[in-house]
Structures are given as structure tokens and as C-alpha cells.
Amino acid sequence: AEIRTHYPVELDDEVAVIRQEAHLVAAVPDHLVEILARFTRALRESNAVDQRSGVSARFAIAGAETIAAAALRRATASGEDEAVARVVDLETAVDVLGGKVEFETGEEGREAEILTHLLRTAVAEAVREHFRGIDFRLLVEALESGSMVVTGDRVTARDLLTGLPVLGESDLYDQVCDRLGAANDGERAGAIELALEGLYLARKIGKESGGGETVYG
């Protein structure tokens, strides 16, 4: 008889399971847990994934634990007071989690591409959900005019925040942070990094990665 795995029905249920089961060595903001939950659900619906093997809640739990560990490494190495996971840590998670997914036989060699595509989809969905109605034009214009924002798995929250383009009297950064309830530097850097990744995925700004750094501009 085929064994049916009972997956959490709603996105909120999936998030609750991750929160309940994951042993986190650093703060993982809600929007990242939500992205991992969306990512897991997208894998379950993908034709490229062998659904007989399935993708259990353990996958997302391992993802949360992996990005927390990445945040702790960054904080320890740089002397940050608070270790907070950010979007940049999700790429580390994909590298680690890829081995936990069984793909269909025709997909050999495309695994990383599929995982990256589905993660980007999950990020874009979260961006739409949380930042709907915010006008990012001033930030886009600043980046088009030559400003750049540097992040990366070794770039501290403070460095990211102090490197943001000045937007005159605009409270855009506060709007972004308020939507995600981001208060401390780590949370604020994470919120703004999510917005930047969203702008990149919407093809509003460019992004280049290499040598442990990601530059938006």
C-alpha cells in the first residue's frame, strides 16, 4: 500500500511546524521562515521532483537551522551583537538542502537550477505579500544613478545599513522595516535585503555575486 505523508495544509501551518521543531542558534525572522515554507511547498508541487519520495516538513526545518547557523557564523566572525539570518543566507541553505531532494531521473544536472528557480519564486511571493503598495522608485533611481548596496554572507548588518543610498526626506527604509516588524539592526538589514532581492527579481535593479559578496545596483 502507498504510504501517504500528511503535509501541513496551509502555509501558516507549515510555518508553525518549522517554528516548533527547528533548533535555531540565531534569530530567523518570520519572513525567512515563510520563504522556506513556500519553497518546500513549491518543491512538493514540482514535476521535476520525485513525489514518491516527497519533501517533508523536515526539509524546511533543516533549512531554518542552516540559515541560523550561517547567521551565527557571520556574527561570531565579525563581532556582531545579534545574530540574525538574512536573505543572503538562503543561498547557503540551497547548497546544503539540495542533497535532501530526490529529483526525477530526467533532471540530472539541472538540480541546482531547479532549486534556485523555486527559491526565487518563493522569495518573490513573499515580497509581493509583504511590500504591496510600497513605492520603491526613489531607491531604484538611486541605484540606477550609480549607487550600490553591498551584502554577502560575511557583510554585517551595520555595514549593509550604513552603505544604503541616502533617499533625502523619504521614509522608504522605515516603511519596509515596519511591514516586517524589523526593529534591531539585524532585522532591519534583513528586511531591506529582502526588498532589494525583490527589486532584482522584478528586473528593476541589477545584481552581481562573487567572492562571498552580492552587489545590488
> What is the distance between the alpha carbons of residues 180 and 178, in angstroms, rounded to a whole number?
5
Residues 105, 150 share a domain: no
Residues 106, 57 share a domain: yes
Q: Is residue 69 in some structural domain?
A: yes
For 163-201, write each residue's pLDDT tens digit.
999 999 999 999 999 999 999 999 999 999 999 999 999
What one-letter code names the amino acid at 58?
Answer: R
For the whole prediction, is pTM greater than 0.85? yes
> What is the distance between the alpha carbons of residues 210 and 217, in angstroms, rounded to a whole number?
14
> Contact, 87 vs 32, CB < 8 A?
yes
Of 60, 52, 65, 86, the residue nearest 155 (C-alpha) = 86
Q: Is residue 6 in some structural domain?
A: no
Residues 163, 95 share a domain: no
Strands 207-210 and 149-151, how do they pair?
unpaired
For 126-148, write each residue's pLDDT tens digit.
999 999 999 999 999 999 999 99
The range of the structural domain enclosing residue 112 comes to 11-127
In the chain, how many domains are there?
Answer: 2
> What is the distance between the alpha carbons of residues 184 and 188, in angstroms, rounded to a whole number?
6
Residues 103, 178 share a domain: no
Q: Is residue 187 in some structural domain?
A: yes
Q: Is residue 4 in some structural domain?
A: no
Residues 142, 122 share a domain: no
